[in-house]
Structure 1
Amino acid sequence: MESGIDIYLNSIRLICPNLTDPELSQYASKLTFRELKKKELFLQSGKVQKAIGFITKGLIRSFFIDQYGNEITVGFYSEGDYATHYPAFIAQQPSSYSIQCLEPTTMALLSFEDLQWIYKQFPAFEKYGRLIAEEILKRQQARIESFIFQPAEDRYLDFISRQPTLFNRISLSHLCSFLGIERQTLTRIRQKLAHQ
């Protein structure tokens, strides 16, 4: 069975195949691993995220609390994703979001300081960082545009097609919050689709 460090380094190799073994070895030497329980917070809103987390096992959600005290889910991240509020992380400013484990989760952690050190020592990793940042930006933009251009049913269908393995791992209340719809609306959409 693949170890957490192998999972992480292989995911880096997929994106940047030109990184050398010594470079990856140096990168790996800066990593620490953390196991979190279900419902445990990786990041609390209002706090500065000191390390970026790569999920080797498990599932997390990112959320904020609105002015009425409701938790609004803005993202789900599973194996192979990063646990981060990236703009706040790179600026080392307090995050507006909390990041919570929905399952027992294992993460490879790299501190902000070590990430900066890696970039200075090994410029090839800057390309990796840029590509990850671009992927995060594309996902955020797609989410914003889904609320502008898509009706609720299309947002639901899009989620199912993009994240087919997540559907049975998350609660309906978290899914409704993420899609920006009431539970009754989701029930209606699912009933309609079941009869098509």
Structure 2
Amino acid sequence: MQELTDYILQIGNINKQQIELVESKTAILDLKKDAYFSEAGLIPKRVGFVLEGVMRGCYYNNKGEEITRCFIGKGNLVVDYPNFEANTASSEYLQACTDCKIIVFSKTDWEELSNTIVGWDVIKNKMVQQCLYQKSRKSPVISQDATTRYLAFLKNYPSFANRIPLAYIASFLGVTQQSLSRIRKNIR
């Protein structure tokens, strides 16, 4: 829980009582590898904070191919926030790439914090902006060659390469697993 408190305090100032209130609104979720935190076609009902493990955002394109859009590691929010906030069905999945431990807020508790803690909306908005930035900033540039995209992946996610399935990395990079294996072999 200290990780979440530290994260919040980096963004804004809340007192000990308010921290205790935030902590009282959470639960711990152990999510096994390949399990979903939220699913396409369903309305997202919770906000998570990753304590351990790696999550990914993915969707299926019009050809039925699975596309990994982003990876979310320790110390980051995990939520499909636009659909969570709008109470609309998601078009993507948030899935555990590894076993994960996540601090979870229900929608009701998340909203209650806004009604109870003065200044929570400012903190919440900054957390959400960081979450959205995290989910969007590291998508590879498809115009780059595959080796350049893989090297950028290694730079952006240095601890993920040996922790998550190659299929997810290949999907994220827009290459086949065979191409990714060749690239990895050539840069060693």
* TM-score above 0.5: yes
| Paired position in structure 1 for 2:104 | 109
Task: Work out which of the residue numbers 150, 172, 176 in structure 2 matches 1:178.
Answer: 172
> Shift of residue 66 of structure 1?
2.2
Corresponding residue SS for 1:147: coil
Q: Structure 2: how far apart are the matches of 1:141 and 1:39?
A: 22
Q: Structure 2: how far apart are the matches of 1:86 and 1:114?
A: 15
Q: What letter matches 1:160 in structure 2?
A: L
Q: Structure 1: how far apart are the matches of 2:123 and 2:144?
A: 32
Q: Structure 1: how far apart are the matches of 2:136 and 2:103?
A: 26
> Shift of residue 9 of structure 1?
1.5
**Structure 1 pair 89–122 and aligned structure 2 pair: CA distance change class (3 A):** same
Q: Structure 2: how far apart are the matches of 1:111 and 1:129?
A: 14
Give the number of the structure whose residues are more often helix, by fraction.
Answer: 1
Q: Structure 2: how far apart are the matches of 1:150 and 1:126?
A: 39
Please state if 1:78 is matched with 2:73: yes
Corresponding residue SS for 1:170: coil
| Paired position in structure 2 for 1:13 | 9
Relative to structure 2, which stretch is displaced further, 135-144 or 78-87?
A: 135-144
Structure 2 unaligned runs (5+)?
Answer: none
**Structure 1 pair 140–107 and aligned structure 2 pair: CA distance change class (3 A):** closer
Task: Work out which of the residue numbers 136, 141, 146 in structure 2 matches 1:147.
Answer: 141
> Shift of residue 149 of structure 1?
5.7
Q: Structure 1: how far apart are the matches of 2:65 and 2:142?
A: 22
Q: What letter matches 2:115 in structure 1?
A: K
Relative to structure 2, which stretch is displaced further, 86-95 or 6-15?
A: 6-15
Percentage of identical aligned residues:
28
Moved over 6 A (4+): none
Corresponding residue SS for 1:25: helix
Q: What letter matches 2:21 in structure 1?
A: Q
Corresponding residue SS for 1:109: strand
The Cα offsets for residues 3-45 of structure 1, whole Å up to 9 and x where unpaired, read as: xx222212222232x2111111111111122222222222121
**Structure 1 pair 148–174 and aligned structure 2 pair: CA distance change class (3 A):** closer
Task: Work out which of the residue numbers 88, 99, 109 in structure 2 matches 1:93.
Answer: 88
| Paired position in structure 2 for 1:65 | 60
| Paired position in structure 1 for 2:152 | 158
Corresponding residue SS for 1:136: helix
Q: Structure 2: how far apart are the matches of 1:191 and 1:33?
A: 39
8 Å Cα contact 2:56-2:94 kept in structure 1 = yes
Corresponding residue SS for 2:95: strand
Q: Structure 2: how far apart are the matches of 1:168 and 1:61?
A: 15
8 Å Cα contact 2:138-2:156 kept in structure 1 = no
CA RMSD of the aligned region, Å? Answer: 2.0
Task: Work out which of the residue numbers 165, 169, 173 in structure 1 matches 2:163.
Answer: 169
The Cα offsets for residues 127-166 of structure 1, whole Å up to 9 and x where unpaired, read as: 221212222333344245x426644333222211111011
**Structure 1 pair 93–164 and aligned structure 2 pair: CA distance change class (3 A):** same
